[in-house]
Chains A and B, each alone.
Chain A
Amino acid sequence: MTAATPAAGRTARGEPKLSVRGLRLEYAADGGRTTALHDLDLDVHEGEFVALVGPSGCGKSTLLKAVSGLVEKTAGSVVLDGERLEGVPEGVGLLFQNDALLPWRTAEDNIRFPLAVAGVAQAEQRRRIAELISAVGLTGFGGHYPRQLSGGMRKRVALARVLAADPGVFLMDEPFGPLDALTRERISADFLALWERVGKTVLFVTHDIDEAVTLADRVVVMSARPGRVIGEYDVDIPRPRAVEDVRFSDAFRRLRGRIARALHHRAEPTA
């Protein structure tokens, strides 16, 4: 991947991988109707890493659930690879905010789940699981139950499970949020290295501007509820990036400041 301006690269790539148009999401609450997302438009291109930042409760997570078909859209469309999505689509992998690991299954068997669903043969399952376990740095822990693993290791299991499904698009819902700072930095670095190698399309939700700028090609800023896009920022920091150093560069600080100002000035609730 080159350090050329992502905006130019995007137009060259043509049709977006994932395209959200006029997405609206309402649900009934306390006798009235609450709008979680309001006419939201968003494009993510093949191989692009897009971070979505916004204040708590702006509907970032809901957006991911709508894209992955777990909640129903009130209006609008989601198009993946030129096809309009209805229900739960194939080729979309969702990494949950809290790992969503099965506590009664070992790490290996948790990673096995998508393979079993896909009907992969036993021998092939074992081979893939061993591969994934080593890819996410969990060698030797395959037989452990989630309870016996640290928060960071559970994240790695969840990540391996999404990788096992081999989706074209990764949807990640504040995946590293609950970890302590040190673990978080380490797992972010590992994930970034993994991603820079495989180059999958990622839509990454976070409320942490630093994390967004560190990881993404493009940062999309959302307003407070009802959520809509209020700004987009290309991240012109060359790859591969070193997670622990990126934040000391001038480019990082300038961008971080611009995004923070956008969030604070325009993301206030209008109520």
Chain B
Amino acid sequence: MTSLRTPSERLATGGRELAAPDADMDDARTVPPGRRQGRGQGRGRGRYGRRHRVLLYAGRVAVGGLTLLLWQFASGRWVDPFFVSSPSDVAARLAALVRSGELWPHLLTTLAEFGAGLGIGTAGGIALGLAIAFSGLVGQWFHPYVMALYSLPRVALAPLFIVWFGIGLTSKVTMVATMVIFAVFYNVYEGIRSIDPDLLDMARAHRASFLRTLRWIVFPALTPWLLTALRLGVGLALIGAVIAELVGSSAGLGYYIKNSSNLLDITGVFAGLAVITAVAMTFDTLVGALSRYLLRYR
């Protein structure tokens, strides 16, 4: 309801918004995705307790283990291992990559692209979201173009960035930032629009400065939205980094996968994929832990 205000609902005089008189008491406002998730997890912990957790994690491990077993069994019996490799071969390759130290430069390269791009994209997305949400009419001039860029498949820009910035770190970081910035912008923008207008009115009625309003109201209200954006951003950043490496690079996990693929070394491809998956899961878990800490007031 609060996010659906149209310009016609604004006061004719001065463009300030007129909150509906005798507004209903309903608390069911636009709920950011992070909030629903957070609540569900909180309830689950309380209701089911320890026995439920044991069953949950035992089941998860079983699903993963059985899948690997099936893969191992199928490889060489039902399917030519040349095409699908096998879990034991992939594990052996990973061990070899760690022992020889060949893994680290690739992993660090990708992590550097991922980290720098995610940081720049997140900061840029927050700045863009705040600017467009709080600049009134001027922001509305830019809004459709930002949304147009958002819907562009940005993966298609990777070759362009290679041409502009070469095959080094810059093109990868640019790619990652481009992937992340719009997801963050969109969440920040929607998050600001969904802030309870009474809270902003409360701050205004107390004559709070813009900076204090940001610190006490806007950023705390945005926290669940930013955490959602960060969760999406982790996935998008890895996609951006690996795609850019596939298009043109001399190091990184994407480069290792592409190189292995060129050599028809399927075990190498799967080893690269396994490392990327591990990185994604690690960061997703970290963001999850951060969410639970920051949203403990719920």
Q: Which residues of A contact B (CB under 8 A)?
A: 26-31, 33, 36, 56-62, 65, 68-74, 88, 90, 92-94, 96-98, 100, 102-105, 113-114, 116-117, 145, 147, 165, 174, 177-178
Q: A27-B11, A31-B8 are contacts. A97–B25 as well, Cβ < 8 Å?
A: yes
Of B12-20, B96-104, B262-270, the stretch lying at the interface with chain A is B12-20
Question: Nearest chain-A residue to B205 (Cβ)?
Answer: A94
A71 CB, nearest partner CB in chain B, Å: 5
Decide if B220 is an interface residue (CB 8 Å cutoff): yes
Beta-carbon contact of A74 and B13 below 8 Å? yes
CA distance A100 to B205 in the complex (A): 12
The 4 closest A-B pairs by CB, nearest first: A104-B220, A100-B198, A100-B202, A28-B12
Beta-carbon contact of A61 and B22 below 8 Å? yes
Decide if B36 is an interface residue (CB 8 Å cutoff): no
Query: Which of A57, A69, A96 contacts B202, CB < 8 Å?
Result: A96
Beta-carbon contact of A72 and B16 below 8 Å? yes
Question: Nearest chain-B residue to A104 (Cβ)?
Answer: B220
Question: Nearest chain-A residue to B27 (Cβ)?
Answer: A98
A190 CB, nearest partner CB in chain B, Å: 21
Beta-carbon contact of B220 and A70 below 8 Å? no
Beta-carbon contact of A100 and B201 below 8 Å? yes
Beta-carbon contact of B22 and A56 below 8 Å? yes
Beta-carbon contact of B216 and A65 below 8 Å? no
Chain B residues with CB under 8 Å of A97's CB are 22-23, 25, 198
* B205-233 interface code vs A (CB 8 A; 1 in, 0 out): 11111001000110011010000000000
Q: A31-B8, A90-B207 are contacts. A26–B13 as well, Cβ < 8 Å?
A: yes
CA distance A195 to B207 in the complex (A): 24
Chain A residues with CB under 8 Å of B206's CB are 113-114, 117, 165
Q: Which residues of B contact A (CB under 8 A)?
A: 8-14, 16-19, 21-23, 25, 27, 196, 198-199, 201-209, 212, 216-217, 220-221, 223, 297-298
Chain A residues with CB under 8 Å of B19's CB are 61, 65, 70-71
Chain B residues with CB under 8 Å of A90's CB are 207
Chain A residues with CB under 8 Å of B17's CB are 71
B1 CB, nearest partner CB in chain A, Å: 13
B215 CB, nearest partner CB in chain A, Å: 10
B4 CB, nearest partner CB in chain A, Å: 14
CA distance A59 to B20 in the complex (A): 9
CA distance A117 to B297 in the complex (A): 23
Question: Nearest chain-A residue to B14 (Cβ)?
Answer: A72
Query: Which of A72, A88, A93 contacts B13, CB < 8 Å?
Result: A72
Question: Nearest chain-A residue to B196 (Cβ)?
Answer: A100
Chain A residues with CB under 8 Å of B10's CB are 27-28
Beta-carbon contact of A36 and B204 below 8 Å? no
Beta-carbon contact of A57 and B22 below 8 Å? yes
Chain A residues with CB under 8 Å of B16's CB are 70-72
Given pairs A28-B8, A178-B25, 17 additional interface contacts (CB within 8 A) = A29-B9, A36-B18, A61-B19, A61-B21, A71-B11, A72-B14, A73-B13, A90-B207, A92-B205, A94-B205, A96-B201, A102-B216, A105-B297, A113-B203, A113-B208, A117-B206, A145-B297
Chain A residues with CB under 8 Å of B12's CB are 26-28, 33, 74
Beta-carbon contact of A57 and B21 below 8 Å? yes
CA distance A262 to B22 in the complex (A): 21
- Can you list 11 A-B pairs, Cβ within 8 angstroms, ordered by A? A27-B11, A28-B10, A65-B18, A71-B16, A72-B14, A73-B13, A88-B204, A98-B27, A104-B223, A113-B208, A147-B298
Chain A residues with CB under 8 Å of B8's CB are 28-31
A258 CB, nearest partner CB in chain B, Å: 24
Query: Which of B22, B212, B221 contacts A117, CB < 8 Å?
Result: B212
B288 CB, nearest partner CB in chain A, Å: 19
B159 CB, nearest partner CB in chain A, Å: 44
Question: Nearest chain-B residue to A114 (Cβ)?
Answer: B206
Beta-carbon contact of B21 and A36 below 8 Å? yes
Question: Nearest chain-B residue to A56 (Cβ)?
Answer: B22
Beta-carbon contact of B205 and A70 below 8 Å? yes
Query: Which of B11, B205, B212, B297 contacts A104, CB < 8 Å?
Result: B297
Beta-carbon contact of A71 and B18 below 8 Å? yes
CA distance A96 to B200 in the complex (A): 12
Beta-carbon contact of A68 and B205 below 8 Å? yes
A94 CB, nearest partner CB in chain B, Å: 5
CA distance A84 to B265 in the complex (A): 81
Chain A residues with CB under 8 Å of B223's CB are 104
B223 CB, nearest partner CB in chain A, Å: 7
CA distance A145 to B295 in the complex (A): 12
Chain B residues with CB under 8 Å of A73's CB are 13
CA distance A26 to B13 in the complex (A): 8
CA distance A97 to B21 in the complex (A): 10
CA distance A178 to B27 in the complex (A): 12
Chain B residues with CB under 8 Å of A60's CB are 21-22
CA distance A267 to B264 in the complex (A): 85
B126 CB, nearest partner CB in chain A, Å: 18
CA distance A61 to B208 in the complex (A): 22
Chain B residues with CB under 8 Å of A96's CB are 198, 201-202
CA distance A174 to B212 in the complex (A): 28
Question: Nearest chain-B residue to A94 (Cβ)?
Answer: B205
Chain A residues with CB under 8 Å of B216's CB are 102, 105, 113, 116
